Each structure stands twice: as structure tokens, then as C-alpha cells.
Structure 1
């Protein structure tokens, strides 16, 4: 199964990418709310259903957790948990006119009560740039199969870019102690933050309340590229248990910048 995991993840990324490219903007709200209580839009649901259909069609031994539908059992003897966000950055998708990043995040965990370190494969596709990355259990690779190694040349400086999720007011308060010490930015989605870190245009990314459908993809891809992923106290996120009911603190990317951010947040 391990050999096939990468194939499955890549094919799911291709499914999402094809739907985005071949469909008109499907940004209307469906009238329902997702598992987190947010209003869903048509493209979210369309991509989600296509991936679920793919898993069923191939009779893969997966339980599934998705942002829209929540947790579902679709196999009599599941061995893995497939977690995905079909359209992270849905507001960017609706109003961004192709300028604001949005994408598909997928992570496959081994076992039915896994830790974040138990990811055997993951993938991430950002649709406005047509860039995507996969994680094979040890290394992160780009769409050309090249191993990604994050730069370690970043310095703690007020011009060094870091991307934080500032959707919540509490996040502004949390990260304010870093202002003017490093350059805080926010692109409207965690997809944008991950895109910039993996593209080496941002030293690190962070969140106060990262959702379960996103955390595994971010942790695995950044670790696989030689970065570190910790909570706001500096604890390795790999030791955290994955739970559909939890949100996660995150600081991830260049070791020097992440450790500096941890030191500042501890002193708040």
C-alpha cells in the first residue's frame, strides 16, 4: 500500500486541479453549513464529492475527514485516515480573480488514531500558480519530482517575511509582539502561507487555530523540506494526536525564525 499512497495523493490533486480549470467560478453558497459551522460554496462540495467518489471507486481502506462533510466511514476494514480540505481559501477563490491563493490540501495518516507524525503521504496544490507539492513519508518534492530543501539563510530582521493566519482577532493580539521584528504578512488563507514557505518567499508561517483538515498537510510538507513545525511553546507538533475536534497552534519553517518567534511569544 505504501508504494501506492503517492499515486493516490497525486491523482486526487489532479482531480481537484481539473475541476478548478474546467469549471466556471462556483462561488455561490449552497445554503448549508459544513462540519465547522461555516457556509459552504459549490466548488468546495464539488471537489469533496469527487475525491470521496475516487476513494470509493478504488475501494481504498480509508476513513475520511473533510472540511465540508466531517468524518465518515466508507470501508469495512479501514487502515488509514484520509484528511483533506477541498478548497482552502474559498473567499480568495470567490473574490480574488485569480490573484489570491487558494488550493487543495490532503494528508493520509496510517492507523485510525494517528499522531501528526504518522502521515505516510500528503499533497498540496495551489491553483493560481499551478504549483503543487507532495510528501512521500520522508521527503517533500515539487511537481517535477525535485526534492525541496528550504533555505536556512533567513535572518531575524524586520524585513524578513513571515505569513500568519490573521483571520481571528485573537491572532492579531497573539502575533503583535513580533511586529517590526520580522515582517508579518497574511494572504487570506493558510494555502497562501504554505505556498510562500515552500516557494522560499517566506521564512515561516504560523497560526493560532489551525484546523484539523489543514494541519497534517502543513506539518508533513514543511518537515519533509527540512523545516521545523512546533506549537507556540516550541513543542514538536509531530507528537500531537490528530483529532477532527481540535485546532492547533503552529509555527513552521526556518528553524532560526521559528525559534525566535517562539521566544517572543513566550515572553508576551
Structure 2
């Protein structure tokens, strides 16, 4: 490729940000469902199509997996898999009046059957705060190019905030053993959880069934910032195979808090 992967990721983030800023709220359902069976909304589709058009226009050697359209082949000799969620937190976008976090998650994997550790670049833009971060294969940086290093000063305490995906009833049951030991919160999207961890207003984030279009972005950005990312048994998520058909357990962020959470979940 003529340009490095990180440049492409940044330009895709800019495409999504521009569409959000220049468009009215496009929160109406399209009448169709996405690859996961969820109803799609107009802005999801608009951002997705703009990124696919960008990849085609630049003739990038990518296969694509997106939340809305699923898995598609658009290059005769692909070398990478581009995975993205065009609008994570679409309900927050639709009803939140700019108060609830939502954003764009992108991850680029090297190879066609990659593991989660095979991400060469990723990016995340949260639109209500205009904050974004990128991962260059080793380090996570903010929008000013500053390397992000997560604080390691968090203590296991009932006031220490952690953000868990509580969309599913099973998630409430899973994380209930941590209640009143650390402060469980939920912002309505994994975008909100990732925003708060990277902004160091939350010690960790977690999910029971994180979707494939989100997992790579979360794993790479938090590991690139010095955090850890494991499943609920403490196994490093980097060793997991990426699959469009899988969901993933996740605990990610400060090592001390994550390891405490693992110990409690093991004893359920």
C-alpha cells in the first residue's frame, strides 16, 4: 500500500466524524436488519457505505466485516481484514440528545484468518466529546499524537468505577458478584465504556458477549495504553481467533482491577 495503515484508519475516522457533524440526526429505522439481526438506522448505513466507498476508491487490499452488512470481499488479492462498527451506541445516538456516548470503532487485522493480537492499526472516535484515539501496532495515541498510558493508581474499592455492558440479563447475573466491591456502571454502549477507560475516568470495562466488530478495537487500544485484556477466566484475549460469528467475554483496563474481577467471577 502506498500509505501506512494508520493514515487510512485516521482518514476513516475523519469520514465518520464529518458525516455526524454535517448531517441531521438520522435515527429512523431503515426497515431492514443488519447481519446480526438488529434493526438498522440511517446513520449506521450512511457511515458504513462511506467507509466501504473509501476502501474501494483507494483500492485497498482489504476484506471487510461491518456490523451492518456483514462480511464482504472487495479486493481480488486481500491481505488484511478491516472490521468496523459504524455507529456503536446507535440508541444513544438516536435518543441521547448529544448526552450519551456513541462512536465509530475500526480495527485492521493482518492476514485473512487473524488472531486478536494481529491488529496492525485501529481507531476509535467518540462523537459527543470529539475525542478519538488510534493504535499504531504498539502504542495508543490520542488525537494530538500523545502516547496514552493508563493510570495504575486504582484501588479495589466500592467507589472505584468500572463500566460493564449490561444490555443482556445474563450480564447482570454475571457481574452481580462484583456489586459493592467496585462501582459498577453502564453508559448504554461499549463506546461509552471505552471512552471512560481511555479518558481514565473508569478503571476497567467488561462485557459478557462483546461483538466481533467491537472486540479488536477495544483490545488493541487498551493494550496499547498499558492495560490488560482478558476473558472472564483471565486468559489473554490476544490469543483468540477473530471470527465474525463469535462473541467474546471481556475484562479490560487496569491490571489490579481486572485481576480482582477475574478472581470474583471465578468464585461465582
TM-score (norm 2): 0.99
Residues in 2 aligned to 1:136 and 1:44: alpha-carbon distance in whole angstroms: 26
- Secondary structure, counterpart of 1:3 in structure 2: coil
Structure 2, gaps ≥5 residues long: none
Post-superposition offset of 1:197:
0.0
Structure 1, gaps ≥5 residues long: none
Q: Deviations over 1:182-220 (max 9, x none)?
A: 000000000000000000000000000000000000000
The corresponding residue for 1:124 is 124
Q: Deviations over 1:45-69 (max 9, x none)?
A: 0000000000000000000000000
- Secondary structure, counterpart of 1:167 in structure 2: coil
The corresponding residue for 1:49 is 49
Residues in 2 aligned to 1:3 and 1:86: alpha-carbon distance in whole angstroms: 23
Residues in 1 aligned to 2:159 and 2:33: alpha-carbon distance in whole angstroms: 40
The corresponding residue for 1:235 is 235
Post-superposition offset of 1:2:
9.2
Residues in 2 aligned to 1:67 and 1:74: alpha-carbon distance in whole angstroms: 16
Q: Deviations over 1:206-241 (max 9, x none)?
A: 000000000000000000000000000000000000
Q: Deviations over 1:97-119 (max 9, x none)?
A: 00000000000000000000000
Residues in 2 aligned to 1:21 and 1:3: alpha-carbon distance in whole angstroms: 26
Contact kept, 8 Å, 1:206 with 1:252, in 2: the verdict is yes
CA RMSD of aligned residues (A): 0.7
Post-superposition offset of 1:3:
5.7
The corresponding residue for 2:256 is 256
Q: Deviations over 1:55-101 (max 9, x none)?
A: 00000000000000000000000000000000000000000000000
Q: Deviations over 1:14-59 (max 9, x none)?
A: 0000000000000000000000000000000000000000000000
Residues in 2 aligned to 1:236 and 1:2: alpha-carbon distance in whole angstroms: 33
The corresponding residue for 1:115 is 115
Post-superposition offset of 1:4:
1.1
Contact kept, 8 Å, 1:2 with 1:120, in 2: the verdict is no
Contact kept, 8 Å, 1:232 with 1:262, in 2: the verdict is yes
Q: Deviations over 1:98-150 (max 9, x none)?
A: 00000000000000000000000000000000000000000000000000000
Residues in 2 aligned to 1:101 and 1:152: alpha-carbon distance in whole angstroms: 25
- Secondary structure, counterpart of 1:98 in structure 2: coil
The corresponding residue for 2:167 is 167
Residues in 2 aligned to 1:6 and 1:257: alpha-carbon distance in whole angstroms: 30
Residues in 2 aligned to 1:35 and 1:212: alpha-carbon distance in whole angstroms: 12
Alpha carbons of structure 1 residues 2 and 196: separation in structure 2 relative to 1, 3 Å: farther
Is structure 2 residue 205 aligned with structure 1 residue 205? yes
Residues in 1 aligned to 2:2 and 2:188: alpha-carbon distance in whole angstroms: 34
